[in-house]
Amino acid sequence: MHSRFHSSFEQLTADLQSALAPLLDHDHFPAMFTADQATELKKRSGLDDDALAFALLPLAAACARTGISHFNVGAVARGVSGNLYFGGNMEFPGTTMQQTVHAEQSAISHAWMRGETQLAALTVNYTPCGHCRQFMNELNSGLTLRINLPGRTSATLGDYLPDAFGPRDLEIVHLLMDPQSHGLHAEGDALSQAALAAANRSHAPYSNSPSGIAIEMQDGTVFTGSYAENAAFNPTLPPLQCALNVLSLSGYDYADITRAVLAEKADATLMQWDATVATLKSVGCERVERLTIA
């Protein structure tokens, strides 16, 4: 079991500890449970969907990387598939605040990068800020997404975001987490093609500037991240943060990164290159390449 879970694991009930122990018994536990695993956890612990998500929050919060605030926020997203995905806030000392990933964004993008196509509920240990409420409004689950908070009655995103403004007001057809492909092409090796694939599934309806990144680890594992734009612009999540998020949730350290490739258009309205290089440099990675796509 990864050392970050030790303290929070000890807070769980004996039944849940027993059920979780074999699943967590790997340094690179993927910070998610399949629908079948979630069903088994509920069976062995006697918890329902929401109660299980609440019980798992301390483990999700333990995944946070908070070198600036030292304030861990955890989130658990439940997909329509029944899969559960952890999320934790991420901060990057040495670069700007704008690179921060909120816990809700972490759980949502985690689910998206794992192939989930829609969310049913999001459980968080602290009330979502306005930034996160707006980010969630970009999702294809829309204002009906269930938000669960400790000590409160379950409510919808619509309850937390009245008089909402989002992609539907701008007649956007493809919403965040909808499967899509931009039909982009480029030559390159396997890591470059992984970055291209990430760019092809990115959500960029406002700038039409799709981008994606692929990060290779020392053991050969590759993590990808896709660009996720927002109707309010500021809650937009860059592709690098999507990739670093899953990398970190999966128990890898930044020092394990050997190489990264960013794929984006040469004439895009918005460019990710400078921010990507600066953020990767802040975590100790300077081997970054750029793949021009068309």
* Amino acid at position 279, single letter: T
The pLDDT score that the predictor gives to residue 277 is 97
Check if the beta carbon of residue 174 is closer than 8 Å to that of residue 239.
no
Strand 257-265, strand 288-293: pairing: parallel
- For residue 37, count other CB atoms closer than 10 A to its CB: 16
Instruction: Provide mean pLDDT across the span 206-221.
Output: 98
**Residue 187 a catalytic site member:** no
Residues with Cβ within 8 Å of 187's Cβ and at least 6 positions away in sequence, in order, are none
pLDDT digits (tens, 9 = 90+) for 223-279: 999 999 999 999 999 999 999 999 999 999 999 999 999 999 999 999 999 999 999
Residues in the chain, how many?
294
What confidence tier does 207 reach under pLDDT thresholds 50, 70, 90? very high
Average pLDDT value for residue range 191-211:
98
Q: Dump pLDDT digits (tens) for 111-140.
A: 999 999 999 999 999 999 999 999 999 999
| Closest among 66, 62, 92 to 76, alpha carbons compared | 62
| From 40, 104, 138, 171, active-site residue | 104
pTM above 0.95, yes or no: yes
Q: What percent of the chain has pLDDT over 90?
A: 98
pLDDT for residue 209 is more than 90: yes
Distance of alpha carbon 221 from its chain centroid, rounded?
18
Token pair for 11: 């807070």
Query: What pLDDT sits at residue 294?
Result: 86
Structure tokens at 185: 């092409």
User: Cα–Cα distance between 198 and 218 in angstroms, integer?
Assistant: 21
Mean pLDDT score of the chain: 97
3-state secondary structure the chain: CCHHHHHHHCCCCHHHHHHHHHHHCCCCCCCEECHHHHHHHHHHHCCCHHHHHHHHHHHHHCCCECCCCCCCCEEEEEECCCCEEEEECECCCCCCHHHCECHHHHHHHHHHHCCCCCEEEEEECCCCCHHHHHHHCCECCHHHCEEECCCCCCEEHHHHCCCCCCHHHHCCCCCECCCCCCCCCCCCCHHHHHHHHHHHCCECCCCCCCEEEEEEECCCCEEEEECECCCCCCCCECHHHHHHHHHHHCCCCHHHEEEEEEEEECCCCCCCHHHHHHHHHHCCCCCEEEEEEC
Write down the pLDDT at residue 159: 98
Q: What is the pLDDT of residue 184?
A: 95
Q: What percent of the chain has pLDDT over 70?
A: 100
* 161 CB-side CA count, 13 A: 23
Q: Which pLDDT belongs to residue 126?
A: 95
pLDDT score for 27 = 87
